[in-house]
Structure formats: C-alpha cells, structure tokens
Amino acid sequence: MRRHRSIAACAMLIAAAISVSGCAPTGPDSASSVTIGTTDRFSSYNTTTSAGSASGNADVTAMTLSNFTAYDESLEIVEDPSFGSIRKINDDPLVVQYSLSDSASWSDGTPVDVADLLLDWAAHSGALNTEGFDPADYHSALSDDSSASLPDDTVYFDSGTRPDSGLGRAPGLPQISDDGRSMTITYDEPITDWRIALPAPLPAHVVAQSALGAESAEAGKSAIVDAITNDDTAALSRVSSFWNTGFALDNVESPEDVYLSSGPYVIDSIDAETGVTLSANPQYDGDRTPSIAAVTMRYLDGPADEVTALENGDVDVISPQATPDVADQLGDVGGITTLTGVVASFEHIDLQFGSSAHDTFDDPLVREAFLMTLPRDAIVDDLIRPIVGSRATTRDSFVFTPGEPGADVSSEGTAFEQVDISGAKALLAEAGVSEPEVCILYAANNPRRAAEFSLIQASAGKAGFRVSDCGTEKWRDLLGVPGKYDAAIFAWESSSVGVVDSESRYATGARNNLNGYSNDTVDELYARLATTADAAERIELLSDVDEQLSSDFYGAPLYQFPSITAFDPDRVAGVEPRVIAPQLTWNIWEWQTP
C-alpha cells in the first residue's frame, strides 16, 4: 500500500520519525548509505555570493558546514553548542560574542578559530570593501568568466551586504580573544536578527593558501588575521577575490583540499555530470553525528526521471519539481511514502530595470500593462491546484507568506487580481508603444516553468506584446546579466524568517537583487526594519515595502511553491522536509537506514 502524509503550509511539520540526537551515537554503520535524486547541480561551496546562492549548493553545505545557530523544523532558532555559543553581552550598544567549542574543527584536522570568524565578519560586514567601488563591471566579467579577478588593490566581498542591515551595522574591527577561540562584535545600532547575522564560516586557511601563498594552515590563519586587523588593501584584494570565486566548482582543481567540512559530512567527490558523494566526517566531534555513513546526491535530468529512479530503486529519496504529472506518476508507485504540501518558496516574475534586452520595461506604463496580462489564476488552476488541492492559491505579496500575520492586509492591491487585456492595450497606447518585445528567461528543462511561459505568452500576446522564448537550461548563469532578457520566471527559496530574507531581493545592491531595482524609500524601510523589534511595526513597515514594489510595477508574485517529497521507507527513515531552504538535507544527521 502506498502511504501519504501532508506538510502543513508554513507551519510546524510532522515530528521527525526517529531522532538520533542525544542518543550518544558511536558512529554510523560503515555499510549504510542513502542516495538522493535531484535536478539541482552543485556549483559553489560559497552560498552567500551572488553566483553561489542556489539550492543545489545549500543542499550540500547544510551537510558539511556547522554554525552557531540554525532553524529547526518549526522554524525556531536553535543553537549548536557542540560548535560554539553566541551570547549578547550588551544591549546598547549591541555587543555579541561568538565563542567556539574546543571540538570545532575542519576536516583536515585544523581547528576552527577566530581567523575563520574574522574572515566571515569581513565578508559579510563589507567594512573593508573599497569605498566607492561599483561592482557592475566586475559582475559582468564574472558572467563571462567565473574566475575573473578584481581590479588591482580593490577590496570587494561579493556578499551583497548593505551598511544599514545585518553585519553592515557592525563596521568596527571585532575583538578577538588571546586564545583564538572567540570574537566579539559591536553594532553601531541594535538589530533584531543578530542571532542569525553570521553565516556558517568558510576555512580561512584555504583562502590564505590560495590567495596569499601561505605554506601552512597556521601561517594562513595568521595571514588572514594580519590582513584584516591591519586593513592591508593589497592582501585583502586577493583574499576577497578568492572568496568571491575560489569556491566555485569551475575554479576548483582539488575539491578535497578546498571544500573542507566543519559538519557531519565531508565531500568525497564531485562529478559535474553524475553528482556529489559525501561520507561521515571522521574529524567531526559534534552533537550531530550521523547514523548513515555515505550520502550520494545523484543528478537526474528532470522530475519524471526522479520518479523513475525512485521506482527502480536507483535512489532512495526525491523532492522533484511538483507538477500534476509527477503527482500522478508517484500515485502509481507502490511501497513509498509521499509528502505533499506548500513551502515558503514562491514563484514570481521579475521585470528588468534599465539593462534589459529591449529596454521594454524602462517605461512604467509598459510595465503596468504587461502585469495586467499575467494569467495568475490560470497558472494556479492548471499547474498547482491538481497537486495540493484547496491549499493552492495565488501569492499576492512580495514579502509575506500566505497565512502569516500581515499577509492579508499587505496583499490588497499588490498584484492584479484579474487579467485586463483592454486595460493593457489602453496603457500601451498611452505610452505610444506598439508591439513591445519581451524576452522571458526561465528554466527550459522545467516542465512547469515551460507551461507558465506558454500561458503568459498567449495572454500577453492578446494585448500586443511580442513575447519571445528565452528559456534555457543555463538560466541561472544569465540571471542579472545585462542585456540578456526582459523578464525572468523563477522562484525565491526562503532560507530565513528574518527581514534579511526579503531585503536581499529588493534593497539596492543587495545580493539577490538581480533586476537592477532601486528605490530609496524601500531602502529606508529595510533600514528601519533592521532595528525594529515590535511585531506590529515590522508588519506595517513590510506592508509599506509591498506597496512601494507594487506602485513601481516591480513584477508579480505568482504562487506559493507546492512540494512533493517521496522516499522508500524500507531504505531510509527520518526524512522530514521543512518549509524553508534547504528543505530536505537540513536534518540529514537524523536520517537512518532501517
């Protein structure tokens, strides 16, 4: 008999089947293994750069990089004391101390220490970036050459940090302890998301060995600390350049030397065509010791292939693109557990501002006209409702997930509720534009996106838009690249419930702002949100962000992402997808092989 369960939309998931945490495990059975089928390719170990922020990367680093805090299945922030502790030691000014545990270590045996934390601060505070540097040309160069270097004596960490948000509000050099195990940072103004401000650190000695020619791990760590504490521009230019590009798979010759682990698993091998293999990290001495010795992320070409691979026993777990066809396919497979629901990620269409293929959307009248043609209801009815039934609905807010406080009020007027072809024609006539061209970028190998494109193309065509198909399997490489498209259909994967999640998309120059949008009012709203703890005020400010994005005709949210996860319960237990990314591998150390 086929078994089914449901994931509650944006709420606490069903409790994990069997948890090994707190059971004093002695280590995994060397013969145990699990294979996850996926269409998401790994491309970078640095998930906080503009190019590295992708689900295929986060799925891997969730297994290999430890941090002070993380979200659990109910989206509560929990600490990992086996890695270290984070403590607020003063409120005004806000002072936060990070202290590493004695067991925190890299997979090459090198201790995790303040050099790693200091590099993390430098990269995500932007405090040492060259003042006035415009990264536009640099980002353009990176789109053609993933190893492009920064201009000489230019320091720029491509983390998308803004001075009025997160660690951007901690520009002062942190204090480091004499024993090299703790770092204390001071904020110039308190922020509410201080517990999640510091991402998981990357190995500083790896950066130093490649960027600065350090001959040993110890020398590398010292070189990083010296460069940061002395504000050595020449050294920091090389450090930031490597931090931006040196963890990208295309630029890595020896993954085992670069992709060091501080978490439960370590990367064994990466094949760009077949996938990633990982094994239990023998240097890991934390609380999240896994019970499965080997994990394989196996690349497959599409959702149908994922289902077939699960049915044939070639993979044990899949979380494919949820389409009606996939749901039907899984319905015919016996002996599996299928989880369906709605997650925090959402589909949207972004319009390019000022650097598009045809300059079509430089005129707000044309933007408004195009948005009037979007068949959002038809997209949901045809592609989403067959999967999740009555839970399927259009998403009507840029910043609120359906069901959370503020969503109903904020969404009023955010997107056009109905298609209005005559209204769109009138606006194009007012703009004096005839048959404007719209090149839409999307994942050509994604059946649901291809169907969305066809629906949009047909509807917009009725108003006079000439919509061309710019779909490609390499769509990620083109996002944000000037002159390549006019609009893009893709999804934002929420990895946080903090304000920083939406700010990264809409604030000027933020990491995930890929369409050149810039609005002083929106920037100011996010600056206020960063320091506001009052829940009612945060809702009001986010609602104002929604209103501004809507009045600028930024684009349109389409729908909340449906989710399907399926696995063979005779081969793996403990699979519990959560509503934010990474949705599947976030608790892999709790998985077991029966």
- Residues 354-371 have pLDDT tens digits of 889 999 999 999 999 999
pLDDT for position 258:
98
Which helix (H) or strand (E) segment holds residue 3: the answer is strand 3-7
pLDDT score for 8? 33
At the topology level of CATH, where does 345-561 sit?
Dipeptide-binding Protein; domain 3 (3.10.105)
CB-hemisphere CA count at 13 Å for 385?
Answer: 10
- Give the number of other Cβ atoms within 10 Å of residue 573's Cβ: 18
In CATH terms, the superfamily for domain 66-241 is: Dipeptide-binding Protein; Domain 1 (3.90.76.10)
281-285, Cβ contacts within 8 angstroms, sequence gap of 24 or more: 281/64, 281/107, 282/107, 283/105, 283/106, 283/107, 283/108, 283/109, 284/105, 284/107, 285/82, 285/103, 285/105
Rounded to whole angstroms, the Cα distance separating 150 from 146 reads 12
Which of helix, strand or coil describes residue 560? Answer: strand
- Confidence at residue 161, expressed as pLDDT on a 0 to 100 scale: 87
Separation between Cα atoms, residue 11 and residue 560, nearest integer Å: 14
The ranges of the chain with pLDDT < 50 are 1-25
Q: Quick check: pTM over 0.95?
A: no
Nearest to 247 by CA among 267, 219, 229, 228: 267
| Per-residue pLDDT at 415 | 61
Measure the N-to-C terminal CA separation of the chain; round to a whole number of Å.
Answer: 19
- Non-local CB neighbours of 534 within 8 Å, separated by 6+ positions: none
Question: In the prediction, which pLDDT does 405 show?
Answer: 80
Confidence at residue 555, expressed as pLDDT on a 0 to 100 scale: 96
What pLDDT is attached to residue 14? 24
Region of 549 please: left (phi>0), alpha (psi -120 to 50) or beta. alpha
pLDDT at 19: 31
